[in-house]
Structure 1
Amino acid sequence: MTATPYHITYADHPDVSYPTKEGMLAYIADERTAWEPFLDKLPNLLNGDVPFRQNNSQNPESLSAAFQILEGRTEDVNQFNQRTRRAVNGGSIALPPSSDSAEGRLILALFNGGKLREALAVYIRFIELNFGAHTSSHQFYGPLAQKGERLLESEVVATVLPFTKVSSAKLAGAARKAANHNTALEQEVAKAVAINAEHESRLNEFLENQKQRSEQAENGILDVHTERTTRYDQWKSSIDDQVSERFEEADKRIVGMERLSKIKLKQQDEEFGRLKDLFATQLRLRSPVALWEGREFSHTENSKTALRWLLGCGVVTAAIAIGVPVCFGDYIAGSFFEMVCSPQGADEAASSQCERFFSAKGPLLVTGLLLAMSILTWITRLQYRIHLSERHLALDASEKKAFAETYLAMKEGEDVGQANEAIVLASLFRPTQDGIIRDDETGMDLSAVALLAKQLGKSGP
């Protein structure tokens, strides 16, 4: 089974066919080299897009890059052949003619001779005949196509003119010169063969020398390998000895660390026992400290409250003692007597006779004021005694809390002996005095409130 060959199809030109991709790529490369100067100049020569059949058109850049586009489509042979066949109908790329064809030789000869417009005219006529360029009605490309047609016809006529015989004679002379040149080349080739034979013999000698040198190098490498093996064994033995010594030192260090760890563990156990005793002591004294701290706060607040009541009652008592005589003195003095008037005649407008009589309202009013003042005085004195008592109890609770905290601090420092501990505990748990100031029973207090308070104090169980 043979592979599908590559084809480049022209309408009025023989197909270009290669059986392999490499052959087609080589042909495209040769053609691109031949046509590259003309195609590079082509965008400057053309005047806008070139119209093709079926309302298609190609711009100057695509015409200039025809070989690059064709080279990029050689991966699939069937698609390559299909695209080149479609190019005949103006549906794909427009290639220039083969460089060895009559059209190609004419275009390249005109271009190389500086006849750029004539070369462009032949190129336009060629793509019009082979790729369906529709230039007959175009104002720029139409006249160029007609001119190209005339140039192609003149090229055909030129091939039959008499001067072609002269060209044939020149060609025959050139052929003879080429034969002579080939003979000279054969002699040169013979000399080159002799030189190659001499070089081959020298190369064999060089290879033999290199072989001997390689054997010597191999022997040297073996000697170096043997020496390296010996040194490696010595190094390995030295490393083993050092490792053994290091392990022995590590064992000694481990034994020492074990002893040190035992000592530290014993110290930690002793410290833990001490902290345990301290914690137990703190647990025993934590509740009393909290209790006395709470009592200190409670007694302090009660003392402040009693002081506020004492000040309030004192202010009220002083205000009553000063304000009542000033504001109601005349009224109180007038309440001891009562004026009684009786008429002397039948006439209501006549003057009446008035007499002053003693009234019980005055003594009763004074008695009430004295009783109220006695009660306020007693309440003020009571608040004073409560204030002093609560203050005394707060100081006592603060002192016991300080004793307990001091004992805990001393216990933490392990400075407390049995005798000192007994003293501290006796101070902590001594009886608490209430701090209430006792009344002086020998004094003489004739106030009603004092007499009532004494009777209530005696009537206890």
Structure 2
Amino acid sequence: MVLSRRQMLKALQLRSVVQKVEVEAEKLGALVEELQTRGSQLAEDVTKFDAHMDRTDSRINARVAAFKRTSARLIDDEQTAFVDMRQAWEARWAETHNTFTHHLQYRAPALLWNTKGQEHRKASRRAFIAFLAVLVLTVVAAALVVFCFGDFVAESFSTIRCDPDTGICETAFSFKGPVTVGGLLLVASMLIWAMRFFSKIYLSERHLALGCEERKAFTEAYLALVMDNSVSREQEAIVLATLFRPSQDGVIRDEDPSMDISAAAILAKAMAGPRS
């Protein structure tokens, strides 16, 4: 059987098409194999990614839980610290308020005792100056009596009396001498009494000034102890009783006034009369 030329051309074309189809089929098979390989690799990668995501989720959940625990602990610590700080601030405020109140309460007595101490100091200086003045006056008066009026005092004990009938003069005792000596003794006793009086005033004012200074120092020391919280409420009553005890004023009384033998003291005793 002889094929025509056209049939041969068609057969050749068909053969070339078949060859191309086979080549494309081979390529398609290779592509399918490659796709299968990539699919299996992709499935393996997806499995690994899922496992990695599970591990990542576990780590994230663990970190979130740890963060929550840390946050809760920090919040509790901050709240506790804030409460402690508030309580400490309230305690310090109360302590400062109490200290300031005590300072105001005891500052006025301290100033009062300081003022009284200064007044007593001035009074003691004035009394001491008066004592020195009376002492100098007594010494000067005694010197004047001895050196200037000694002869006059000595001559006052005698007087010259003359008889007009006989014309005879004689020396006789005169009462002017005892009166003069008595007057001098009275003046001397008054000066001595004045010296004793001013000395007692000086000692009294000095004693009161020292007492005021002691109370002032005691008050300032008490304020310092209050600032250091060294004085309790139980001890405060003792401190207050010591601070606000009655203070004495005036002249110190003699322990044994019977020993005063001056004329002024004897006259004062006579005018006062017997004691009951």
Classify the TM-score, shorter chain.
0.5 to 0.7
Residue 312 in structure 1 maps to residue 133 in structure 2: yes
Residue 428 in structure 1 maps to residue 243 in structure 2: yes
Provide the C-alpha distance between the structure 2 equivalents of 1:378 and 1:342, rounded to a whole number of angstroms: 46
Provide the C-alpha distance between the structure 1 equivalents of 2:110 and 2:260, rounded to a whole number of angstroms: 45
Q: Structure 2, unaligned stretches of length 5 or more? A: 1-70
CA contact (8 A) 1:389 1:437 kept: no
Paired residue for 2:105? 284
Provide the C-alpha distance between the structure 2 equivalents of 1:375 and 1:408, rounded to a whole number of angstroms: 49
Deviation at 1:295, TM superposition (A): 1.1
Q: CA RMSD in A?
A: 3.3
- Distance change (3 Å), C-alpha of 1:456 and 1:336: closer
TM-score (norm 1): 0.39
CA contact (8 A) 1:299 1:391 kept: yes
Residue number among 157, 164, 178 corresponding to 1:336 in the alignment: 157
Please say which structure displays the higher CA radius of gyration: 1
Paired residue for 2:254? 438
Paired residue for 1:358? 173
TM-score (norm 2): 0.63
Equivalent position SS for 1:339: strand
Residue 448 in structure 1 maps to residue 263 in structure 2: yes
- Distance change (3 Å), C-alpha of 1:458 and 1:359: closer
Paired residue for 2:67? none
- Distance change (3 Å), C-alpha of 1:271 and 1:455: farther
Provide the C-alpha distance between the structure 2 equivalents of 1:455 and 1:432, rounded to a whole number of angstroms: 32
AA aligned opposite 1:357: A
Write out aligned runs for 1:14-33 (5 A).
none
1:108-165 per-position Cα deviation (integer Å, ceiling 9, x unaligned): xxxxxxxxxxxxxxxxxxxxxxxxxxxxxxxxxxxxxxxxxxxxxxxxxxxxxxxxxx
Deviation at 1:275, TM superposition (A): 1.3
Residue 322 in structure 1 maps to residue 138 in structure 2: no
Structure having greater relative contact order (Cα 8 Å, sep ≥ 6) = 2
Provide the C-alpha distance between the structure 2 equivalents of 1:309 and 1:410, rounded to a whole number of angstroms: 42
Paired residue for 2:37? none
- Distance change (3 Å), C-alpha of 1:283 and 1:305: same
Paired residue for 1:150? none
Residue 399 in structure 1 maps to residue 214 in structure 2: yes
AA aligned opposite 2:144: G
Deviation at 1:273, TM superposition (A): 1.8
CA contact (8 A) 1:403 1:424 kept: no
Write out aligned runs for 1:130-279 (5 A).
264=85, 266-279=87-100
Residue 411 in structure 1 maps to residue 232 in structure 2: no
> Runs of 4 or more off by more than 6 Å in structure 1?
342-345
Q: Structure 1, unaligned stretches of length 5 or more? A: 1-251, 346-351
- Distance change (3 Å), C-alpha of 1:460 and 1:342: closer
CA contact (8 A) 1:306 1:386 kept: yes
Higher normalized helix content (fraction of residues): 2
AA aligned opposite 2:141: I
AA aligned opposite 2:234: A
**Number of residue equivalences:** 202
* Identity %, equivalent residues: 39
Deviation at 1:355, TM superposition (A): 2.5
Provide the C-alpha distance between the structure 2 equivalents of 1:353 and 1:342, rounded to a whole number of angstroms: 5
Equivalent position SS for 1:410: helix
AA aligned opposite 1:302: A
Paired residue for 1:11? none
1:189-220 per-position Cα deviation (integer Å, ceiling 9, x unaligned): xxxxxxxxxxxxxxxxxxxxxxxxxxxxxxxx
Deviation at 1:310, TM superposition (A): 1.1
